[in-house]
């Protein structure tokens, strides 16, 4: 079945297997199945919609609205709802069910859910069991960590997005089981490496890509178990050390540009997979029957997953992991979710739908802020099991039969994502994630703008929110960072610098300075946002293309399009060339 995306207008395919999955996860209430409709948005637009609710890096100083203590939160003071610190959110000082309301069938579901969201307190930062790590969201089991969203089991690390089991690392993304890593992405079990990309088990190396088990290598690509190499050429230890000493005089920017050009000359693998069977995507590991999955681990019988782990028989998930089964259109949560759909940050919430920031909510529909064991709730109001099933069935029937707000004004329709105007978001019916228009964040505050960048006019024309730049954050700095870390004094912590790329002001934190000295790397002249953008240039697009192997001409599906200049090999040719 081919459909046209209601958001971007492109054609996309829904397969027979997709339809079988939608049927499998459809709600069954008192023996009646409420068939889940096929999506109206293409996979990319579905991902964009889910990501528009995830603010990772925009943090604000404000007071907790319960205990009145100052804190760091992902919500500014301009939001309508109360914002609580982590301790207050989990306390028994407030009851989420006190915000419950009856369902009004003269109004749309999303209109009523938006009103609930505007009243229920929100957790200011998504954190769990951390120490000295206030400036982070989506962080768990970490100590002395700064601005490293989506990370867990980390220690003494700065600007390390979506990483795990790391220590003493700086400016990284999607790395695991690493120590003393700087400026790296998609690397695992590496030690003391600078600018490593898609590398495993490497140490004491810099500017390396697609390397495995390499030590003391510099500006190398596609090597396996090599030592003392520069640009893939073997040297003696003495020759290597002399050459490296000379090369390091060139400076970081020149070395990176030289490495990028050299890396293009080395054949690339059509897809980055490890221990996978019948799977497609990039940077996936221990997967079976995983289709169109990216940065995913331990996945089985699933499709359209991004940055996920331990998932089975699910579709359209991002940043969602740990014992997940039969889930659909879920974002940023996890931990034992089963048969759940259309939820944001939901943990231990089986057989639930349309939850925002809920925990331990079993068999609930359209709830916000639940943080204790409850079941059978709709709009934060609890019912008997029979009452819950009857009401849920009626709401689904309304959403399936209407797809628009009954009796709502045009203004409310627009705010809820139901407006018919071509300048607002397409109508949302049952069976799809929350409309972007009800996100508590401006579009450019969220990860959606990183994956799918838009201009202010584009965002506003869609009826979504936009956060204007504060000119005070772009004041011209009179201070210039020293070129070498050995020339950098402690007073660098007192100054404000201007990003060499975008001009945004940023500061150096003490942990960052200590790590740079420890790893003997220069402090960056770019803000953290631009550093992450540079790292993402080493990531392939989350798309697959038909092309031929550059060696044997065999047809294959690759993350490299035909327009890319690199030589791209099929699995067989790559293994023969590299190993």
For 328-346, the pLDDT digits (tens) are 999 998 888 999 999 999 9
| 283 lies in some domain | yes
The confidence band for 566, taking pLDDT boundaries of 50, 70 and 90, is: very high
pLDDT score recorded for residue 421: 33
**Residue in 40, 90, 14, 117 with CA at minimum distance from that of residue 440:** 117
What confidence tier does 468 reach under pLDDT thresholds 50, 70, 90? very high
Check whether residue 168 and residue 189 sit in a common domain. yes
pTM (two decimals)? 0.93
Co-location of 283 and 152 in the same domain: no
Q: For residue 498, what are the CA distances in angstroms to 88, 144, 226, 479, 503?
A: 37, 25, 40, 8, 5
In a domain, 446, yes or no: no
Q: Same structural domain for residues 162 and 200?
A: yes
Please say whether the beta carbons of 445 and 58 come within 8 A: yes
259 & 290 share domain? no
Q: Whole-number mean pLDDT of the chain?
A: 93
What is the extent of the structural domain holding 230? Answer: 127-269
Same domain, 243 and 290: no
Reduced to 3 states (helix: H, G, I; strand: E, B; else coil), residue 293 is: strand
Q: Are 161 and 148 in contact (CB under 8 A)?
A: yes
Q: Are residues 150 and 200 in the same domain?
A: yes
Specify the pLDDT at position 478: 87
Contacts with 257 (C-beta within 8 Å, 6 or more apart), sequence order: none
Residue 158's pLDDT band (cuts 50, 70, 90): very high
pLDDT band at 402 (very low <50, low <70, confident <90, very high): low
User: Would you give the DSSP letter of residue 473?
Assistant: G
% of residues, the chain, pLDDT over 90: 90
Residue keyed to tokens 């028994």: 92
In a domain, 435, yes or no: no
- In a shared domain, residues 240 and 279: no
Residue 13: per-residue pLDDT:
96
Q: How many domains does the chain have?
A: 4
Which pLDDT tens digit goes with each residue over 481-505?
998 999 999 999 999 999 999 999 9
Residues 285 and 260 in one domain: no
C-alpha 364/C-alpha 27 separation (Å) is 12
Q: In this predicted structure, what is the pLDDT of residue 226?
A: 97
Strands 2-4, 11-13: pairing is: antiparallel
Contact 65, 121 (CB under 8 A): yes
| Confidence band for 579, pLDDT divided at 50, 70 and 90 | low
Any domain includes 216: yes
Indicate the pLDDT class of residue 265, thresholds 50, 70 and 90.
very high
Q: Is residue 196 within a helix (H) or strand (E), and if so which, with residue range?
A: strand 191-197
The reply to whether 158 falls in a domain is yes
Q: Is residue 304 part of a domain?
A: yes
Question: Is 195 within a domain?
Answer: yes
CA distance 194 to 185: 10
**Same domain (yes/no): 174, 225:** yes
* Average pLDDT of span 24-41: 96
* Cα–Cα distance, 148 to 192 (Å, whole number): 19
Tokens of 529: 């946002």
- pLDDT tens per residue, range 407-444: 333 333 333 333 333 334 445 589 999 999 999 999 99
Average pLDDT over residues 27-55: 97
The pLDDT assigned to 315 comes to: 98
Tokens for 37? 């409709």
Please say if the pLDDT value at position 201 is more than 90. yes
| pLDDT of amino acid 506 | 96
Most distant CA pair in the chain, distance: 80
For the segment 70-101, what is each residue's pLDDT rounded down to a tens digit?
999 999 999 999 999 999 999 999 999 999 99
CB 46 within 8 A of CB 6: no
DSSP bridge pairs for 480: none
| 276 pLDDT above the threshold of 90 | yes
Q: Do 215 and 281 reside in the same domain of the chain?
A: no
CB distance 177 to 183 below 8 Å: no
Residue with tokens 């002001």: 505
Does residue 260 sit in the same domain as residue 288?
no
pLDDT band at 394 (very low <50, low <70, confident <90, very high): very high
Q: Which of 12, 71, 67 is nearest to 44 (CA)?
A: 12
Give the span between the Cα atoms of 386 and 502, in whole angstroms: 57
User: How high is the pLDDT of residue 480?
Assistant: 87
228 and 312 in a single domain? The answer is no
Please measure the distance between the N-terminal and C-terminal CA atoms of the chain and give it in whole angstroms.
42
Band of pLDDT at residue 213, cut at 50, 70 and 90: very high
Looking at per-residue confidence, does 421 or 566 come out higher?
566
pLDDT at 196: 98
In a domain, 555, yes or no: yes
User: Please, what's the b/e burial string for 518-528 (b: 16 or more CB within 10 A of its CB; e: otherwise)?
Assistant: ebebbbbbbbb
The residue among 390, 437, 463 whose CA lies nearest residue 110 is 437
Is the C-alpha dihedral spanning 244, 198, 174, 467 positive or negative? Answer: positive
pLDDT of residue 534: 95
pLDDT at 578: 74
């Amino acid at each position: 079945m081919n459909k046209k995306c209601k958001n971007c207008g492109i054609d996309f395919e829904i397969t027979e297997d997709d339809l079988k999955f939608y049927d499998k996860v459809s709600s069954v209430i008192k023996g009646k199945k409420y068939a889940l409709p096929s999506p109206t948005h293409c996979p990319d637009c579905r991902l964009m919609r889910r990501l528009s609710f995830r603010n990772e890096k925009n943090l604000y100083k404000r007071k907790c609205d319960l205990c009145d203590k100052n804190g760091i939160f992902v919500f500014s003071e301009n939001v309508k709802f109360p914002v609580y610190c982590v301790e207050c959110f989990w306390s028994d000082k407030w009851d989420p069910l006190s915000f419950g309301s009856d369902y009004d069938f003269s109004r749309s579901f999303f209109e009523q859910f938006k009103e609930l969201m505007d009243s229920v307190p929100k957790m200011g930062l998504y954190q769990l069991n951390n120490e000295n790590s206030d400036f982070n969201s989506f962080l768990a089991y970490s100590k002395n960590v700064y601005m490293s969203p989506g990370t867990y089991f980390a220690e003494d690390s700065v600007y390390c997005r979506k990483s795990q089991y790391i220590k003493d690392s700086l400016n990284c993304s999607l790395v695991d089981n690493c120590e003393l890593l700087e400026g790296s992405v998609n690397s695992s079990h590496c030690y003391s490496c600078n600018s490593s990309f898609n590398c495993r088990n490497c140490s004491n190396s810099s500017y390396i890509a697609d390397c495995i088990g390499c030590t003391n290598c510099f500006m190398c690509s596609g090597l396996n178990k090599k030592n003392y190499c520069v640009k893939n050429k073997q040297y003696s230890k003495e020759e290597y050390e002399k050459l490296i000493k000379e090369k390091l005089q060139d400076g970081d920017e020149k070395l990176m540009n030289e490495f990028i050009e050299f890396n293009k000359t080395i054949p690339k693998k059509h897809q980055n997979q490890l221990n996978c069977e019948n799977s497609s995507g990039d940077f996936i590991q221990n997967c079976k029957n995983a289709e169109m999955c990216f940065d995913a681990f331990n996945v089985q019988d699933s499709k359209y997953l991004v940055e996920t782990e331990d998932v089975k028989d699910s579709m359209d998930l991002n940043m969602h992991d740990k014992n997940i089964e039969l889930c659909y259109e879920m974002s940023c949560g996890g931990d034992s979710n089963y048969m759940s759909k259309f939820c944001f940050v939901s943990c231990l919430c089986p057989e639930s739908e349309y939850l925002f920031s809920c925990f331990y909510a079993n068999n609930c529909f359209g709830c916000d802020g639940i943080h204790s064991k409850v079941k059978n709730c709709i709009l934060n109001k609890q019912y008997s099991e029979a009452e819950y099933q009857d009401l849920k069935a009626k709401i689904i029937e309304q959403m399936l039969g209407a797809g628009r707000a009954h009796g709502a004004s045009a203004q409310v329709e627009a705010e809820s994502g139901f407006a018919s105007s071509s300048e607002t978001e397409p109508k949302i019916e049952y069976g799809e994630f929350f409309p972007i228009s009800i996100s508590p964040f401006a579009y450019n505050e969220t990860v959606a703008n990183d994956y799918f960048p838009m201009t202010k006019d584009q965002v506003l024309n869609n009826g979504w929110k936009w956060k204007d730049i504060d000119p005070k954050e772009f004041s011209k700095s009179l201070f210039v960072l020293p070129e070498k870390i050995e020339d950098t004094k402690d007073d660098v912590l007192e100054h404000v610098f201007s990003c060499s790329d975008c001009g945004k002001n940023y500061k150096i934190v003490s942990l960052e300075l200590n790590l740079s000295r420890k790893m003997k790397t220069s402090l960056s002249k770019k803000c953290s946002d631009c550093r992450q953008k540079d790292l993402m240039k080493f990531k392939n697009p989350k798309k697959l293309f038909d092309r031929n192997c550059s060696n044997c001409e065999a047809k294959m599906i690759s993350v490299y399009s035909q327009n890319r200049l690199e030589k791209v090999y099929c699995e067989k040719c790559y293994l023969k060339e590299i190993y």
